[in-house]
Structure 1
Amino acid sequence: MIESNPPLQQYYGRLLQESAGKGHQNRSCFYDPTHYPVIAECELPLIDLDGLKRCDRRERLACSAAICKAASEWGFFQVINHGIDTELLRKMRREQVKLFDMPFEKKETCGLLNNSYRWGTPTATRPNQFSWSEAFHIPLTKISEPACWGEFKSLSEVINEFAAAMLRLSRLLAGILAENLGNPKDAIEEICDESTCFLRLNHYPKSEEETFGLVPHTDSDFLTILYQDHVGGLQLMKDSKWVAVKPNPDALIVNIGDLFQAWSNDEYKSVEHKVMANNKMERYSTAYFLCPCYNTLIGSRTESSIYRKFTFGEYRNQIQDDVKRFGHKIGLSRFLQDTNPLIMKSD
C-alpha cells in the first residue's frame, strides 16, 4: 500500500467500505460512467503571446483572434512567451515541493496563510466525490501579511512575485476577451485586482486506486491560469468526450471560468475538467484564479441574456449550499433565466 501524506488512503478506504455496505458490490458503480474512459490525448491550442507585441497590426489581431477562438471552441488553451520568467516558475515549484514535504500534522496545525490548508474532500459521501489531493487555497489578501508566513519567508517572497506576474498575464488575456465582446478592454481589470484573486498550490500524491485527483468540475471565476509539471493527469470534456491534456513544460494553461461564460452569454465556454491520480508519480500544479469582489454583479450586456444577473457572492453561496445538499456543484444552470433546473439527488 502506498503511504500517503496526508492520510488519503484511510479516508478513501472508509468511503469504499461504506459504499459496499450500502449494497454497491461492483466497484464500477462508484463512478459516473460518463467519466470513463478517456477517449484520446489532445494538445490544447497553443498561442504564442509574442504575437501581441508585433509591430504588424495584422499579427496582433491574429493572436487576439486565436485567444478568443480557443475560449469559444475549447474553453482551454496554452500560452508560450507569456512574460513570466522561467526561473520564477522554477523557484515557485521548489518552494511548493518544500511546503508539501512537511509532515501532515504540521501542515494541518501550522496555520499558514489563515489556515488555508485543505486535503481530500470533507463533504464526500461516496468514492466518486473524493479528491486524492491536498492544497493550500490562498486568498491573495493574505500574502502581504508577514504574520501569516511563519518560517516560510522564502515562500512569501516567491509567491508575492509570482502572484503579481500572474495578475498581469490574467488581465492581459481578460482584456482581449472582454474587448472581443464589445466591452472596454479594462472592464475586467476594474473589478478584479490582487485583493480579490486566489492562488491554489496543488499536490497529488501517488495512488494505487484509479481515482480522481480532483473531481470533475468547472471553475467559478473569470479565468484560471495553471502552471503544471510534466506528469499529466489533467482531462477535459471536449465534444461530449473526456480527453487527456498532453503536458507541455514550456506553456501555461488557461481556462475560462463560469463568470466569463455568463458574462459572455455563452460565447466563451467554462468546460468541465478533472485530474486523475497517478500510481507511479506525484503531481504538482499551481493555479491562479482571476476573481472579482463578492458584490460584483455578473450579467451579459446583450438584451437576450441566457442568465439572470447575480453577484459573485451569491454564486459562491449557492455552490456551497449545493455541495452540502447534493455532494456536487450545480453551477450556472441555477441562474438560467426563468428556469428551475431539475436536480437529481444522488443515491
Structure 2
Amino acid sequence: MPAFTESGAAEPPLAESYLDLLRRSGGIITALPAEGCAGGAAAVQERELPLIDLECLMTSDRRGSGGGGAREARAACAGAMARAASEWGFFQVTGHGVSRALLERLRAEQARLFRLPFEAKAGAGLLNGSYRWGAPTATSLRHLSWSEAFHVPLASISGSACDFGELGSLRYHEVADAMSRVAKTVAVALAGSLLQQGHTAAAEAFPAGCDETTCFLRLNRYPACPFAPDTFGLVPHTDSDFLTVLCQDQVGGLQLMKDARWVAVKPHPDALIVNIGDLFQAWSNNRYKSVEHKVVANAKAERFSAAYFLCPSYDSPVGTCGEPSPYRSFTFGEYRMKVQEDVKRTGRKIGLPNFLKQHPQQ
C-alpha cells in the first residue's frame, strides 16, 4: 500500500474513508479489474470520441432559412450526432459557442472554490449547501468515489439569494447559460432525427419540462489519490437525465463502456463532451444509448470538470418519440425516487429496466 501524507485542511476525509473501508474488508481490495475497476487501467485502450462541429446549428436558424446548403449542413450535423448517440452514447463537439476565456475563468474559479477549508465547503451556506464528497455511506471500496463536487440546482443560483462566499468573480449562471444553449441545441437536433418529417414544432419543444430552473450544474474536483490503482474517481454509472454536457481539463481519466470493454477518452482541448442520459434513451425507444462511464483516480494530478445536466421538472412525463415504446409512462420524479430506493436497498442503481412494460425476470 502506498504511503499517505496528511492532506491540508482543504481536503475532504477521503483517505480516512478509504482506510476504514479497507479495514472493514479485512485488508482485501474487492473491487476487481474484471468488474471494471481502476485496477485494470493498464489494459484500457485510449480512443477519440466522434468529433462534431456544431457551428452550423449554433449560428443559424434551425427552422430552415439560409438556403439549401445550410439546411444540408444542419442535417449532416444532426445525422452525425444521431449516429454517435446510437453507437457510442458519447461524442465531442466543437463550434459550440462557449468561449475559451469563460471556461478558463471557470477552471480558475473552481480551483479557488475547492481550496477553501473543508469545513467551509461542507457548511450549509456555500452555493446553497450543494457540496458533497466521496461516498460517506459506502460499505465497499467499489462504492467509494475519490472526488468532491458542488451539485447545484440552477434554480438556486439564478437568483440573488445564492451564497457565493467570497468567490464573486464568476457567476456560475454564466457558465450554465452557455452550456444550456449547447444542450438544448443538441437535444433538439437529436430529437428531430427521430421524429418524422413535419414534426419540427415537436422537436423544437423537446425535451418537455426543461428550463433554467430544473437543470443542474455540477463542479467536480478529483484530488490526486495515493491509492489510485484500486480507487475510482467516480464510480461507474449512467446519467439520470436527458443529456449531459461536460467540460474537462486535459488530465484525462474519463472512461466509458464500448463494445463490452472500457475505453479511455482522449481529452480534446477545444471540445465539450456530450453524453446521452437514461431519459433520452427511454424517449428514443433505445435508439440512443445511455452508456455506463466512470472516472479513474490519478496518483499524481488533480482533475477538474464541470457538467451541465439537462433535466425536466419532477412532474414532467418523459414521453416517447413514437409508439410502440418498450417503456411504460413515468415522470422524472418517479425515476429519481426509484433510483434512490434501489441504491438504498441494493447499493446500486437499476434504472431503466424498472420501467420496461415487460419487466425482465429477476
Q: Provide the TM-score with structure 2 as the length reference.
A: 0.89
Alpha-carbon shift at residue 161 of structure 1 (Å): 1.0
Alpha-carbon shift at residue 323 of structure 1 (Å): 0.9
User: What is the match of residue 45 of structure 2?
Assistant: 40
User: What is the match of residue 97 of structure 2?
Assistant: 83
CA distance in 1, matches of 2:244, 2:53: 18
Structure 2 residue runs of 5 or longer lacking an equivalent are 61-65
In 2, are the aligned partners of 1:297 and 1:311 still within 8 Å (CA)? yes
In 2, are the aligned partners of 1:299 and 1:309 still within 8 Å (CA)? yes
CA distance in 2, matches of 1:329, 1:188: 26
Q: Which residue of 214, 220, 235 maps to 1:196?
A: 214
Give runs of aligned pairs for residues 88-103 of structure 1, distance below 5 A.
88-103=102-117
1:121 aligns with 2:135: yes
In 2, are the aligned partners of 1:132 and 1:204 still within 8 Å (CA)? yes
In 1, are the aligned partners of 2:85 and 2:276 still within 8 Å (CA)? yes
CA distance in 1, matches of 2:132, 2:337: 19
Change (3 A) 1:197 1:82: same
Give runs of aligned pairs for residues 206-221 of structure 1, distance below 5 A.
206-209=224-227, 210=229, 211-221=231-241
Q: List per-residue Cα deviations over 1:176-226 (Å, max 9, x = no partner).
A: 011111152223254211000000000000101121000000000000000
Bigger mean CA deviation after superposition, 37-46 or 248-257: 37-46
Q: Which residue of 63, 74, 85 maps to 2:88?
A: 74
In 1, are the aligned partners of 2:188 and 2:204 still within 8 Å (CA)? yes
Q: Which residue of 279, 288, 304 maps to 2:324?
A: 304
Between the two proteins, what is the percent identity of the paired residues?
56
CA distance in 2, matches of 1:16, 1:119: 18
Q: Which residue of 146, 168, 186 maps to 2:181?
A: 168
Alpha-carbon shift at residue 258 of structure 1 (Å): 0.2
Match for 2:50: what amino acid?
P
Alpha-carbon shift at residue 49 of structure 1 (Å): 1.1
Alpha-carbon shift at residue 47 of structure 1 (Å): 0.4
1:251 aligns with 2:271: yes
Match for 2:72: what amino acid?
R
Give runs of aligned pairs for residues 229-308 of structure 1, distance below 5 A.
229-308=249-328
Match for 1:258: what amino acid?
D
CA distance in 1, matches of 2:268, 2:33: 29
In 2, are the aligned partners of 1:216 and 1:273 still within 8 Å (CA)? yes
Alpha-carbon shift at residue 153 of structure 1 (Å): 4.9
CA RMSD, 1 decimal = 1.7
Change (3 A) 1:110 1:315: closer
User: What is the match of residue 50 of structure 1?
Assistant: 55
1:324 aligns with 2:337: no
User: What is the match of residue 134 of structure 1?
Assistant: 148
Match for 2:22: what amino acid?
L
Secondary structure at the aligned position of 1:317 is classed as helix
Secondary structure at the aligned position of 1:208 is classed as coil
Q: List per-residue Cα deviations over 1:267-323 (Å, max 9, x = no partner).
A: 100000000010010000000000000001113243321111111000000111111
CA distance in 1, matches of 2:225, 2:302: 8
In 2, are the aligned partners of 1:202 and 1:285 still within 8 Å (CA)? yes
Secondary structure at the aligned position of 1:298 is classed as coil
Alpha-carbon shift at residue 340 of structure 1 (Å): 4.8
In 2, are the aligned partners of 1:92 and 1:158 still within 8 Å (CA)? no
Structure 1 residue runs of 5 or longer lacking an equivalent are 343-347
In 2, are the aligned partners of 1:123 and 1:327 still within 8 Å (CA)? no
Alpha-carbon shift at residue 147 of structure 1 (Å): 3.1
1:9 aligns with 2:15: yes
In 2, are the aligned partners of 1:333 and 1:341 still within 8 Å (CA)? no
User: What is the match of residue 63 of structure 2?
Assistant: none
User: What is the match of residue 345 of structure 1?
Assistant: none
Secondary structure at the aligned position of 1:179 is classed as helix
In 1, are the aligned partners of 2:128 and 2:163 still within 8 Å (CA)? no
Alpha-carbon shift at residue 158 of structure 1 (Å): 3.0
In 1, are the aligned partners of 2:254 and 2:293 still within 8 Å (CA)? yes
Alpha-carbon shift at residue 166 of structure 1 (Å): 1.1
In 2, are the aligned partners of 1:319 and 1:331 still within 8 Å (CA)? yes
Change (3 A) 1:2 1:239: farther
CA distance in 2, matches of 1:304, 1:63: 28
Bigger mean CA deviation after superposition, 179-188 or 282-291: 179-188
Change (3 A) 1:133 1:323: same
Alpha-carbon shift at residue 101 of structure 1 (Å): 0.5
User: What is the match of residue 64 of structure 1?
Assistant: 78
Match for 1:181: what amino acid?
L
Count of matched residue positions in the alignment of Structure 1 and Structure 2: 336
Q: Provide the TM-score with structure 1 as the length reference.
A: 0.92
In 2, are the aligned partners of 1:95 and 1:154 still within 8 Å (CA)? no
